[in-house]
Chains A and B, each alone.
Chain A
C-alpha cells in the first residue's frame, strides 16, 4: 500500500496588498493523481515560483478535481484553466500561465464534464486543502454546526433532515431522518454515531474521495448527527486499503479537537462528542451494518439477524446511528441551505444529488456529482465523454457485486433508487462501471460471483455453499461445457440464495446473474448451445470444440 505522503511543502507567505494571492495553482493530491506522482508536481511548482521570486502566487494542494482519467491535474483557480496529464517538464507552462493571470480574470466554463454537474457533497473538493481547517472554515465550514448548537433543538435538526428527504447513500436508501429519529427515541443513556467508510464495492471510490478531499465535512456531519440523536461517542470505520484517507482523517480529527470543534465543550457549549477511527482489514461483508459493528468490537465481521436493528441495539448493545460517508457529508449543506432547497433537486422519492464514480471503458474516468434523475445517457456520454476508442456501449454496471448490468435500451432512464431497482439493478454506493463490446456478460457474472464466493463470511449456508455452487455452474457455462439443465439449475439456485441468505451480501449475490440473464440471455445461449464466446473473452474448453 502506498504510504500516505506527509505534507512536506509549506505555503509561502503571500506578499500582496490585501494578503490574497494574485494567482493560485491547485494541484490535485487525491489518491488517483498522487499515484501518478502529483506530489512531485506540487514540490516542483513550489521550488520554481520560489526561485523566480513570485511572491503573489500560491501553490495549493487540494482534494480530488474529479477528472481522474487525465491526472495528474493542476488547475489555475482564477481562470479555471486545467492542465491535464502534467509531467515534471510541464511545470514551466503552468508557471507561464500563472504569470498571465490578471485580477479581472474570471473562471470560464470548463466543458461538459464539469458544467453538467451539481456539487453539494463535493462543493469543496478541489477547492480546499484537505488538511487545513482554515480552508474549510473559509468556505463556510462549521457554520452549520455552530448554528445547530446555539439556536436549534435536536428535534428541529431531525426535522430539517427528515423534510429534506435525504436517504442513505450507502445503497439501500433508508430515509436518514427516520433513522435519526429512531435512534434519538431509543432507550439508553449511551448512544453511538458510526460512519461507514468501508467502501468495499470494486470500482467505487466516492467515499474515499470525499474523505481525502474534504474530511472536515464528514466530521461536521457526524457531530451534527450526534447532537440530533444525543450521542457523545463516534467511530469512523474505514478500509485499511485507503491509507491516504485514513491519514487525512486523523489529521482532521486532531485539528478539529485542537480548535474545540470536537471533544469536550464543542464550540463553547456543553455538548461533548469525540470520534475515533477503526480500521477495517479487508472484509467486504463488514460494509453490512451488523458485521461492521462486530468488527468495531474486535470480533470476526459476521452479520447477525435483524431485528433488533442497530438503531435500537447496536454497538455494545446500545442504540447506534449508522450512516455512510456521503450521507453525513450532505448534512452540513442541508442545514446551511435548508430542507426545501435540497428537496428541490431530484426526482420522486429520490431527493438531492448523488456522487458517482465513473470507471471502466469510459473516456472520463473520475468522480462526478449529479442531481438524482439525471439520465444514464447524460452521465455516460455527456459527462463521461463516451466509450474508449469509440467502441459501442454495451452495459453499465451499478451497485457493485449486489447490483446489475443495465443495457443500452435504458440509457434514457432517469437514475433514482426506484428506477434502478425496476430494471433489476441497485443504487449501491455509486460505482458506475461502463462496459463495451469487449466484455462478456457471462464472464462479468462469473467475476462478481467469484467475488461474493470469496467474500462470503461463511456464517449462513445458502451464501457460503450457494455462491460457490453458482460460481461452478457459471464457470462451466463460460468454458462452453454446460447444458441447458445447468442453466435451469443456475436460475433455481440463484432464487433460493436470494431468499434464504442472512444478509445483503448473499441476498444480493445472485443479482448480477439475474440481470445478465434478463438482458443478455443470448450470450448465455451462445456459450451453452454454440459453445462460443461472442465477445471472445472466455476460453472455451468443451471437447467437441477442441477436437
Chain B
C-alpha cells in the first residue's frame, strides 16, 4: 500500500502550477513521473527554481536531492531564468563543419556572451544544441523558436543587436 499523505501545496497560487499538478496526477503521482513533471514545470515557467523542484519532489515522493540530481543531469532543464530572447546555435556535425564555431566566436566578440550565458542587459541568452535536425540548413540557429538557416555571422549579430 502506498503511504497516504496530504498533497503538498503549490508554492504560489500562480495558475500555471495547475498544469504541472495535472501532468503529475495523470501519471499517478508516482516517482516515474519526475522527468515529465519537470518538463511540464519548465514549459510553464521557462526554468526550474528551487520551489518548483521541491514541489515536484514532494508531490511524487522523490527526495529533493534526487530531484536536483535529475534536473542537473539532463541538459534540457535549466535552473536559471533566460533572457528576453534566446538564440540557440546548433553545434551538430553538419553545422560544425559548415561554420558553427565561427558563429559562436562572432557572438562572443559582439555580445560578450559565451554559450549558456545571458547578456548583461538580460536581453539575449545564447545557448547551444546538439543537432536540431535542420542539417540541410547548416549552419542553423534558432531565435525565439524560429529556425534560421545558412546563417552568416554578421547578419545574425546585426539581427540580435536590433532586438
Residues of A near any B CB (own CB < 8 A): 1-3, 31-32, 35-36, 68-69, 71, 200-205, 208, 240-242, 278-284, 295-301, 357, 359-361, 365-366, 397, 400, 431, 433, 435, 438-439, 444, 447, 451, 455, 457
Q: Does the CB pair A278–B36 fall under 8 Å? A: yes
Q: Which of A68, A280, A359 contacts B93 (CB 8 A)?
A: A359
Interface centre among B60, B91, B132, B133 (most CB of A within 10 A): B133
Complex A-B: 23 CB contacts under 8 Å: A2-B146, A2-B147, A31-B133, A32-B134, A35-B134, A68-B135, A200-B131, A241-B132, A279-B39, A280-B74, A281-B35, A281-B39, A282-B74, A298-B34, A298-B62, A299-B66, A299-B70, A300-B73, A359-B136, A397-B93, A400-B93, A451-B130, A457-B73
B47 at the A interface (CB under 8 A): no
Q: Does the CB pair A298–B75 fall under 8 Å? A: no
Q: Which residues of the partner chain A approach B107 to less than 8 Å between Cβ atoms?
A: none
| B27-62 interface bits toward A, Cβ cutoff 8 Å, 1 = contact, 0 = none | 000111111101100000000000000000000101
Q: Does the CB pair A300–B70 fall under 8 Å? A: yes
Q: Which residues of the partner chain B approach A431 to less than 8 Å between Cβ atoms?
A: 93
Q: Which of A35, A202, A205 contacts B130 (CB 8 A)?
A: A202
Q: Does the CB pair B136–A284 fall under 8 Å? A: no
B83 at the A interface (CB under 8 A): no
B138 at the A interface (CB under 8 A): yes
Interface segment out of the listed B9-17, B94-102, B118-126: B94-102
A328–B62 alpha-carbon span in the complex (Å): 34
Interface centre among B69, B91, B130, B145 (most CB of A within 10 A): B130
| B55-90 interface bits toward A, Cβ cutoff 8 Å, 1 = contact, 0 = none | 000001010001001100111110000000000100
Q: Which of B73, B97, B136 contacts A366 (CB 8 A)?
A: B136
Q: Which residues of the partner chain B approach A71 to less than 8 Å between Cβ atoms?
A: 136
Shortest distance in angstroms between A255's beta carbon and chain B's nearest beta carbon? Answer: 20
A203–B142 alpha-carbon span in the complex (Å): 16
B106 at the A interface (CB under 8 A): no
Q: Does the CB pair B93–A240 fall under 8 Å? A: no
Q: Does the CB pair A36–B35 fall under 8 Å? A: no
Residues of B near any A CB (own CB < 8 A): 30-36, 38-39, 60, 62, 66, 69-70, 73-77, 88, 91-94, 96-98, 129-138, 140, 142, 145-147, 149
Q: Does the CB pair B32–A296 fall under 8 Å? A: yes
Shortest distance in angstroms between A484's beta carbon and chain B's nearest beta carbon? Answer: 27
> Contacts A3-B145, A35-B134 hold; do A282 and B92 have CB atoms under 8 A apart?
no
Q: Which residues of the partner chain A approach B31 to less than 8 Å between Cβ atoms?
A: 297-298
Q: Which residues of the partner chain B approach A438 to less than 8 Å between Cβ atoms?
A: 97
Q: Which residues of the partner chain A approach B133 to less than 8 Å between Cβ atoms?
A: 31-32, 205, 208, 241-242
Shortest distance in angstroms between B45's beta carbon and chain A's nearest beta carbon? Answer: 16
Q: Which of B39, B97, B140 contacts A361 (CB 8 A)?
A: B97
Q: Does the CB pair A205–B135 fall under 8 Å? A: yes
Beyond the given pairs A202-B94, A359-B93, 16 more chain A to chain B contacts, judged by CB atoms under 8 angstroms and listed by A's residue number, are A35-B134, A36-B149, A69-B136, A205-B135, A208-B133, A240-B76, A279-B39, A282-B77, A298-B34, A300-B70, A357-B135, A360-B93, A366-B136, A433-B94, A444-B97, A447-B96
Shortest distance in angstroms between A70's beta carbon and chain B's nearest beta carbon? Answer: 8
> Contacts A2-B146, A36-B137, A298-B34 hold; do A283 and B73 have CB atoms under 8 A apart?
yes
Q: Does the CB pair A281–B76 fall under 8 Å? A: yes
> Contacts A2-B145, A359-B93 hold; do A203 and B73 have CB atoms under 8 A apart?
no
Q: Which residues of the partner chain B approach A435 to less than 8 Å between Cβ atoms?
A: 97
Q: Does the CB pair B132–A279 fall under 8 Å? A: no
A457–B75 alpha-carbon span in the complex (Å): 11
Identify the closest chain A residue to B32 (Cβ): A298
Identify the closest chain A residue to B135 (Cβ): A359
Q: Which residues of the partner chain B approach A299 to less than 8 Å between Cβ atoms?
A: 34, 66, 70
Interface centre among A68, A205, A296, A366 (most CB of B within 10 A): A205
Q: Which residues of the partner chain A approach B145 to less than 8 Å between Cβ atoms?
A: 1-3
> Contacts A2-B145, A200-B130, A203-B93 hold; do A365 and B135 have CB atoms under 8 A apart?
yes
Shortest distance in angstroms between B59's beta carbon and chain A's nearest beta carbon? Answer: 13
> Contacts A2-B146, A36-B149, A433-B93 hold; do A300 and B75 have CB atoms under 8 A apart?
no
Q: Which residues of the partner chain A approach B76 to less than 8 Å between Cβ atoms?
A: 240-241, 280-282
A366–B133 alpha-carbon span in the complex (Å): 11
Q: Does the CB pair A282–B93 fall under 8 Å? A: no
Q: Does the CB pair B93–A439 fall under 8 Å? A: no
Q: Which residues of the partner chain A approach B62 to less than 8 Å between Cβ atoms?
A: 298
Q: Which residues of the partner chain A approach B38 to less than 8 Å between Cβ atoms?
A: 281
Q: Does the CB pair B149–A281 fall under 8 Å? A: no
Q: Does the CB pair B136–A297 fall under 8 Å? A: no
A298–B32 alpha-carbon span in the complex (Å): 4
> Contacts A2-B145, A300-B70, A359-B93 hold; do A283 and B75 have CB atoms under 8 A apart?
yes
Q: Which of B60, B70, B97, B142 contacts A2 (CB 8 A)?
A: B142
A431–B149 alpha-carbon span in the complex (Å): 20
A284–B75 alpha-carbon span in the complex (Å): 10
A433–B132 alpha-carbon span in the complex (Å): 15
Q: Does the CB pair A365–B136 fall under 8 Å? A: yes
Q: Does the CB pair B97–A282 fall under 8 Å? A: no
Q: Does the CB pair A202–B77 fall under 8 Å? A: no
A35–B141 alpha-carbon span in the complex (Å): 11
Q: Which of B70, B96, B137 contacts A35 (CB 8 A)?
A: B137
Q: Does the CB pair A241–B129 fall under 8 Å? A: yes
Q: Does the CB pair A35–B147 fall under 8 Å? A: yes
Identify the closest chain A residue to B96 (Cβ): A447
